Structure 1
Amino acid sequence: MTYKHILVPVDESPISYAAVEQALALAKTLDCQVTVTSVIAVDPFVGVDFYKIAPAVTDYFMQAEKNAQLRLADIKQSFLRDGIDVDTKIIRGVSPAEGVIHVADEVGADLIIMGSHGRTGFKKLVLGSVAQAVLTQSPIPVLIIKV
């Protein structure tokens, strides 16, 4: 099977950058388009009294957005240096897995490459796994990079 459009979801973790490197190598080999996305989720404030912390929420989202924009711009340059057609997208207000699936559908991706911590047992149960959720919900192939 050949791929024409790779989606790479990233966050601030080194694992994301390992997925970016794999996507970069594969995109060069297959001469395909890449979309790099970052999801800004509401998760840190679930169950918190919004009115008491509204300024903190606003600051959090503004900083998260700025960090995501800088991260995506930096990653985009890596692809452009190698002559790879790349686009970036920021998704807001949904769970990371839901955002990834939505962007994959929206851009017509036919492969998702993402990193995973490879947690197991209790750590996976407590911390959840975005990669696991995407893997089970995605209608397209998902390549998981474990670091």
Structure 2
Amino acid sequence: MYDKILVAVDGSEHSDAALRHALELARLSGGQVTAVTVTEPSSMAVPALDLVAVDTASLFEDLEKAKAETAAQILDHTRKAAGNVAIGAIHLASRQIADGILEAAEAAGASLIVMGSHGRRGLSRLLLGSQAAEVLARSKLPVLVVKA
């Protein structure tokens, strides 16, 4: 039924729980798993910029390099956790998280998206936002949200 499973990973305990579910589904169904980690665009707000000269190019290069290194570590952890289940790994840089997950799902031809959620409610959810809620609202595919 779910032959191509996309799982969103970010190195958190929530995404580790989602990964475990995605891998088990793949084992049971004989499906393939692709893990995606998405890093958001770097931005900087500097008040009174006209009073200070800032080399933003090198700052952004350093930020993007650090994000790429972190993404590589997350995907290495994901590959190790997969054990004997074949898993593809994708890092999408400079994307909004939900946009990147949906883009990766489409590119992979996924039949299911699996992602973790912190399960917060009320004001804390509004303040922190919810990538899972946005993916659920916008996805044309089934989405399995794993609360950890």
Determine if the alignment matches structure 1 residue 52 to structure 2 residue 54.
yes
The two structures have a TM-score, normalised by structure 2, of 0.88
Q: Given the alignment of the two structures, is residue 14 of structure 1 paired with residue 13 of structure 2, yes or no?
A: yes
Which residue does 2:40 correspond to in 1? 41
Q: Which moved more, 1:67-76 or 1:131-140?
A: 67-76
Aligned to 1:109: 110
Where 1:52 maps in the other structure, the secondary structure is coil
1:99 corresponding residue in structure 2: 100
Give matches, 1:70-81, under 5 Å. Answer: 70-79=73-82, 81=83
How far is the alpha carbon of 1:64 from its aligned partner? Answer: 1.1
| Residues in 1 aligned to 2:102 and 2:125: alpha-carbon distance in whole angstroms | 20
Gaps of 5+ in 2: none
- The 2-side partners of 1:92 and 1:143 are apart by 24
Residue 124 (structure 1) aligned with residue 125 (structure 2): yes
Quote the Cα distance in structure 2 between the aligned partners of 1:85 and 1:28. Answer: 10
1:61 is matched with 64
Query: What is the rounded CA distance, in whole Å, between the counterparts of 1:52 and 1:119 in structure 2?
Result: 38
- Cα shift readout 1:21-59 (whole Å, capped 9, x = no counterpart): 1111111111100100000102x62x5149736233322
Percent of counterpart pairs with the same letter?
33
What runs of 5+ residues in structure 1 fail to find an aligned partner?
Answer: none
For the pair shown, the structure with the greater C-alpha radius of gyration is: 2
- Which residue does 2:3 correspond to in 1? 4
The SS at the match of 1:115 is strand
TM-score normalised by structure 1 residue count: 0.89
Give the deviation of 1:60 after TM superposition: 1.8
**Structure 1 segments of 4+ aligned residues over 4 angstroms from their partners:** none
RMSD between superposed Cα atoms in Å:
1.7
The count of aligned residue pairs is: 142
2:31: which partner in 1?
Answer: 32
Mapped to 1, the partners of 2:123 and 2:77 lie a distance apart of 35
